[in-house]
Structure 1
């Protein structure tokens, strides 16, 4: 079976979902290897890995030792529509990060000036929770990262900032999932991200607007630079 080169991972994902629908890939059976799937679809392993990652995050498959995956019991009727929107490409992530650098650096500075004591307690709770989560090598932590950044936007007390970022929440979540999933198995990078959150929170706690601005910019620039170094996906 051959597929078009355009949006390869998307097409692979839809083929795999259809194979589960028809019973060609049955519940509690082991998926073919990445190499076998790549040969079957006539593509490299990169889009195969991306499609499998989406299915794993969605709970449709479960990774096993030896690089094989097991098909899990899941309602494909409920899975099909949401899972199509899990994929995001590298350029979209870079564009969003560029936008976030412009908006969130200033929002962090405003949050340092305007945050309440109650908000500070919640920001610290989010930082502590994310740091704890980064100790779990299997956790991506994208939802917790999202909550941290969203709350800082709220603490800026600027409704336009908060609403604009909120309107991008779906894309933001998918971009975080894409970015943070690249840190799985990379303990040093995971620790760095958690530390960057802590530095931002400390600046906000000290009402150091310039420090918060600088810390947020460095945090987002580090994320952008990491994405830039990733190989191009097919």
Structure 2
């Protein structure tokens, strides 16, 4: 099916190209960007859309205006700021590291949840599972809130305040990686159904109070995310 051609604002088109030029290091970290006039000439547009695009980049933490004039490209660190405009610019190795950490924490959390969960906690995990199931029907949305809620309820059921503290303290990072990975499933019902099925198997293992199965399915679930993102760290295992 052919989709309608989008008519993007000039400033949005400039923004897309500037982000790509920063990402591919045409404008490397700590380098000075060309002036507004120079950028306007480069893109063949007026200064107005250039200024709008630069404002978005600065709000997202990709660039910084210096006193005395000039704008420099900032280094994007995953653990600092996660607005949508910045997350896609981080070094993919940082995403891999975060997913590796999630695998360690959540595999054990799932095992503990299977051993320790009570009826109310199991019901909360089930409710979160059904919320994610609803996103399968609407493939146009990302569904990261429902995904995060499911994982959050499992860690909560582990009955370990430190595991819970780590997840809550890093909630922005969790959301960031979920948005990053689930965006690749938007419009792809089969992929979304696969993620739901993985969640379902984790839930069933916790419901059946089987710690080994719960850990296995959680590790498998996060490994599949890492495979989807071509995590090079998996090659060493």
Confirm or deny a common fold (TM above 0.5).
yes
Cα distance change, pair 43–213 in 1 and its aligned pair in 2 (3 A): closer
In structure 2, C-alpha distance between the alignment counterparts of 1:100 and 1:38, rounded to whole Å: 32
Number of aligned residues: 172
Q: What is the CA distance between 1:32 and its match in structure 2? A: 3.7
In structure 1, C-alpha distance between the alignment counterparts of 2:170 and 2:18, rounded to whole Å: 34
How big is each residue's C-alpha offset from its partner over 1:170-200, in whole Å with a ceiling of 9 and x where there is no partner? 1111111111111112221111001111110
Cα distance change, pair 204–177 in 1 and its aligned pair in 2 (3 A): same
Cα distance change, pair 30–118 in 1 and its aligned pair in 2 (3 A): same
RMSD: 3.2
Cα distance change, pair 93–42 in 1 and its aligned pair in 2 (3 A): closer
TM-score by length of 1: 0.65
Aligned to 1:168: 170
Superposed, which structure 2 residues align to 1:22-101 within 5 Å?
30-32=8-10, 37=14, 41=18, 43=20, 80=59, 85-86=82-83, 87-88=86-87, 89=90, 90-101=92-103
1:131 to 108, 133, 147: 133
Gaps of 5+ in 2: 1-6, 25-54, 63-80, 233-237
In structure 1, C-alpha distance between the alignment counterparts of 2:138 and 2:110, rounded to whole Å: 28
Cα distance change, pair 118–40 in 1 and its aligned pair in 2 (3 A): closer
In structure 2, C-alpha distance between the alignment counterparts of 1:195 and 1:183, rounded to whole Å: 14
TM-score by length of 2: 0.64
Aligned to 1:215: 217
- Partner-residue secondary structure (3-state), 2:226: helix
In structure 2, C-alpha distance between the alignment counterparts of 1:40 and 1:225, rounded to whole Å: 28
- Partner-residue secondary structure (3-state), 2:154: helix
